Amino acid sequence: MNGPTLRIRRVGIDTWRENVAYLHRDCPVVRAAGFQALAKVTVHANGTTIVAVLNVVDDAHIVEPRELGLSEDAFARLQVAEGHAATVGHAEPPASIAALHRKIAGERLSRDDFFAVMRDVAAARYSKIELAAFVVATNQFELDRDEVLHLTEAMIGVGRRIDWQREVGRGPVVDKHCIGGIPGNRTSMLVVPIVTAHGMWCPKTSSRAITSPAGTADTMEMLADVELPLERLQQIVRSTRGCLAWGGTADLSPADDILISVERPLAIDSPGQMVASILSKKIAAGSTHLLIDIPVGPTAKVRHHQDALRLRKLFEFVGDSLGLHLEVVLTDGSQPIGRGIGPVLEARDVLAVLDNDPMAPADLREKALLLAGHILEFDPPVRGGAGVALAREILESGRAAAKLRAIIAAQGANPDPPALGSLRHEVPAPVDGIVTAIDNFQIARIARLAGAPMDQGAGVELHRKLGDSVRQGETLYAIYARFPADYRFARALAGQDTGYAIAEPLSGQSRGAGNWRVPVRNLAPGK
Choose one of 377, 411, 445: the last residue of a domain.
411
- Nearest Cα neighbor of 275 from 145, 188, 157 is 145
Helix (H, G, I), strand (E, B) or coil at 471: coil
Q: What dihedral do alpha carbons 132, 134, 136, 137 form, nearest 10°?
A: 160
- How many domains does the chain contain in total? 3
Does one domain contain both 396 and 492? no
* Average pLDDT of the segment spanning 365-391: 96
Peptide bond preceding 453 in cis form (omega within 30 of 0): yes
The CA distance from 314 to 317, in Å, is: 5
Residue 3: pLDDT band by 50, 70, 90 thresholds? low
For 384-468, strand residue ranges (E) read 423-428, 433-438, 459-462
The CA distance from 223 to 404, in Å, is: 10
- Nearest Cα neighbor of 211 from 159, 131, 274 is 274
pTM score, two decimals? 0.89
CA distance readout (Å), 255 to 156, 441, 476, 502: 9, 28, 41, 44
User: Does residue 372 lie in a domain region?
Assistant: yes
CA distance readout (Å), 184 to 135, 348, 363: 26, 11, 11
Residue 455 has pLDDT above 90, yes or no: yes
Choose one of 353, 378, 411: the last residue of a domain.
411
CA distance readout (Å), 308 to 276, 294, 297, 440: 16, 7, 10, 17
Residue 514 has pLDDT above 50, yes or no: no
List the CATH number of the domain containing 10: 2.40.40.20
Does one domain contain both 290 and 434? no
Residue 454: pLDDT band by 50, 70, 90 thresholds? very high
Residue 512 has pLDDT above 60, yes or no: no
Residue 522 has pLDDT above 60, yes or no: no
Residue 472 has pLDDT above 80, yes or no: yes
User: Does residue 136 lie in a domain region?
Assistant: no
Enumerate residues 6+ apart whose C-beta is below 8 A from 312: 292, 294, 328, 330
List the CATH number of the domain containing 384: 3.40.1030.10
* Per-residue model confidence (pLDDT) at position 2: 53
Does one domain contain both 67 and 188? no
The CA distance from 447 to 186, in Å, is: 15
* Domain interval for residue 461: 423-503
Task: Express each pLDDT in 124-178 by its tens digit.
Answer: 999 999 999 999 999 999 899 999 999 999 999 999 899 998 888 888 999 999 9
Does one domain contain both 322 and 467? no
Amino acid identity at 442:
Q
Candidates 113, 175, 218, 269; catalytic one:
269
Does one domain contain both 436 and 497? yes
Enumerate residues 6+ apart whose C-beta is below 8 A from 355: 401
Residue 376: pLDDT band by 50, 70, 90 thresholds? very high
Strands 242-246 and 202-206, sheet pairing: parallel
Task: Express each pLDDT in 401-417 by its tens digit.
Answer: 999 999 999 999 999 99
User: Does residue 106 lie in a domain region?
Assistant: no
User: Does residue 205 lie in a domain region?
Assistant: yes
Strands 6-10 and 67-70, sheet pairing: parallel
* Per-residue model confidence (pLDDT) at position 17: 85
CB atoms within 10 A of CB 218: 26
Does one domain contain both 355 and 215? yes
Residue 249: pLDDT band by 50, 70, 90 thresholds? confident
Does one domain contain both 78 and 172? no
Does one domain contain both 384 and 342? yes
Residue 197 has pLDDT above 70, yes or no: yes
269: annotated active-site residue: yes
Does one domain contain both 198 and 169? yes
Phi and psi, residue 335, nearest 5°: -160, 165
Task: Express each pLDDT in 89-103 by its tens digit.
Answer: 999 999 999 999 999
- Nearest Cα neighbor of 206 from 223, 237, 227, 183 is 227
Does one domain contain both 396 and 431? no
- Nearest Cα neighbor of 154 from 132, 133, 138 is 138
User: Does residue 300 lie in a domain region?
Assistant: yes
CA distance readout (Å), 506 to 23, 125, 273, 501, 514: 69, 63, 47, 15, 9
* Per-residue model confidence (pLDDT) at position 273: 94
User: Does residue 132 lie in a domain region?
Assistant: no
- Nearest Cα neighbor of 237 from 189, 304, 282, 285 is 285
Percent of the chain topping pLDDT 70: 95
The CA distance from 213 to 374, in Å, is: 27
Does one domain contain both 398 and 333? yes
Task: Express each pLDDT in 278-309 by its tens digit.
Answer: 999 999 999 999 999 999 999 999 999 999 99
Residue 504: pLDDT band by 50, 70, 90 thresholds? confident
User: Does residue 151 lie in a domain region?
Assistant: no
CB atoms within 10 A of CB 327: 17
The mean of the pLDDT values for the chain is 92
